[in-house]
Amino acid sequence: MNVAVNIDAKLQSIHDLDLEDDEDFKTPREFLLTDLASPTTVSSELHWHHSITTQDAHAVLAELCVLYLNFFNSNVSLPTEANEEAGHSVDRHAFLDYSAQTWGAHFREAGINDDAAIIPFALRICDPESKSYLVWFRIYWKTTSMETTEYFTDLMVTSYYGHHVVVNLLLEKGADVEAKDSGYNRTPLSWAAEKGRDAVVKLLLEKGADVEAKDSGYRTPLSRAAGNGRAAVVKLLLEKGADVETKDGRYDHRTPLSRAADNGHEAIVKLLLEKGANIEAKDGLGQTPLWRAAECGHEAVVKLLLVEKGASVTVATKDGRTPLHLASRNGHIEVVKLLLTTQVHDDRDSCLIL
């Protein structure tokens, strides 16, 4: 907070900060949010201290983080791999890690308008050619489970974070909606779809973004959204005619329905089935959506596929394992009951036919 409360748009560099003693500074959240349980009169030169809503707090923190990161566009020395072991130069850049890791979320939750004074600063730190981008993006990306990727465009960054106001500005300036990063070969639409940024997805689709663009894993935006439980995005993509039967991976060959079933996303499974998704589609190992759901113990999805939609309970993989084998092995008792009950009914029906 020492750094945060001294940041000003008029400052040109980190060296311009007039820091005070590091005593009694609270966390940004404690400092900013209104104490609704015990309202008090606060005497402070900082008019926003304990006096604003959560959204306002996000706006303040977004502005502070963005302005701070912009300092790195000046001639200030940049953190290097050598001094990262010391905590990204903690003594000198105490606010850096926080800003790098949270500015995007604060900016999104703040609901910032397109005429806000902070917009030009945000555009600057999203520019892959800027020094500030090179600093914050490296720090943030290390907090994810993904490998380092190059050639991220400003449209990819803002689509990833769901900054629809900035995305719209970039699109109006002619940003390439089909650009792909070099690490994962993914478009802005792919990144936005996976993260559930429905407002951004809508903007990109309106600009003609390819709904079937495949990344290096042969996954489409629909596959990414379905696997991550992004129902609103899945609906938008389906309305644009996204192929529900497209299969991903060199070896997996999994459909969006398989991805959704595997992760227990019942609402998305329903959406895909309503669009005619093949309930018996097998992946590269011979596993159907029911097989995936049963293995993971997703009772609601198993019931939907099995009882309501009539998925085959006896389907087996290349090595002979059925959904019942996997549910039993993993201790999913309720799923086992569903499978056994359905199998008994199927056996009786077969006997009647004979």
Q: What is the pLDDT of residues 191-235, one digit of tens each?
A: 999 999 999 999 999 999 999 999 999 999 999 999 999 999 999
Asked whether residue 213 is domain-assigned, the answer is no
With cut-offs at 50, 70 and 90, classify the pLDDT of residue 51: low
Q: Residue 310: helix, strand or coil by DSSP?
A: coil
Contact predicate 297/332, CB 8 Å: yes
- Which residues, 6 or more positions from 43, have their beta carbon under 8 angstroms from its beta carbon? none
Q: Is the pLDDT of residue 45 over 60?
A: no
Asked whether residue 306 is domain-assigned, the answer is no
Total domains in the chain come to: 1
Please report the pLDDT score of residue 151 as a whole number: 87
Please report the pLDDT score of residue 32 as a whole number: 53
Structure tokens at 30: 């404690």
* Cα(57)–Cα(321) distance, integer angstroms: 53
Please report the pLDDT score of residue 76 as a whole number: 60
Compute and round to an integer the Cα radius of gyration of the chain: 25
Q: Is the pLDDT of residue 246 over 80?
A: yes
Question: Burial of 151 by CB count in 10 Å (0-12 exposed, 13-18 middle, 19+ buried)?
Answer: exposed
Q: Is the pLDDT of residue 87 over 70?
A: no
* Cα(260)–Cα(267) distance, integer angstroms: 9
* Cα(301)–Cα(307) distance, integer angstroms: 10
- Which residues, 6 or more positions from 135, have their beta carbon under 8 angstroms from its beta carbon? 69, 72, 78, 79, 96, 100
Asked whether residue 225 is domain-assigned, the answer is no
Asked whether residue 107 is domain-assigned, the answer is yes
Contact predicate 87/97, CB 8 Å: yes
Count of residues for the chain? 354
Asked whether residue 233 is domain-assigned, the answer is no
Asked whether residue 210 is domain-assigned, the answer is no
Q: Which residues of 161-179 are buried (b: 16+ CB within 10 A; e: fewer)?
A: bbbbbbbbbbbeeebebee
Axis crossing angle, helix 96-110 with helix 54-70, rounded to the nearest 10: 130
Please tell me which residue, 47 or 271, carries the higher pLDDT value: 271
Query: 118: closest CA among 60, 172, 167, 171?
Result: 60
With cut-offs at 50, 70 and 90, classify the pLDDT of residue 148: confident
Average pLDDT for 37-47: 46
Domain that holds residue 15: 1-145
Average pLDDT for 122-151: 92
One-character DSSP codes across 51-78: -B-HHHHHHHHHHHHHHHHHGGGSSPPP
With cut-offs at 50, 70 and 90, classify the pLDDT of residue 346: low
Contact predicate 237/211, CB 8 Å: yes
Q: What is the mean pLDDT of the chain?
A: 84
- What does residue 317 show for φ and ψ, rounded to 5 degrees? -80, 180
For the beta carbon of residue 248, count every other beta carbon within 10 angstroms: 24
- What does residue 248 show for φ and ψ, rounded to 5 degrees? -105, 170
Asked whether residue 349 is domain-assigned, the answer is no
Query: 162: closest CA among 208, 212, 218, 106?
Result: 106
Please report the pLDDT score of residue 54 as a whole number: 92
Asked whether residue 329 is domain-assigned, the answer is no
Average pLDDT for 303-311: 93
Q: Is the pLDDT of residue 350 over 70?
A: no
With cut-offs at 50, 70 and 90, classify the pLDDT of residue 354: very low
- What does residue 254 show for φ and ψ, rounded to 5 degrees? -100, 140
The alpha helices in the chain, defined as continuous H runs, are 28-32, 54-70, 81-84, 96-110, 119-125, 131-141, 154-161, 164-172, 188-195, 198-206, 221-227, 231-239, 256-262, 266-274, 289-296, 299-303, 323-329, 333-353
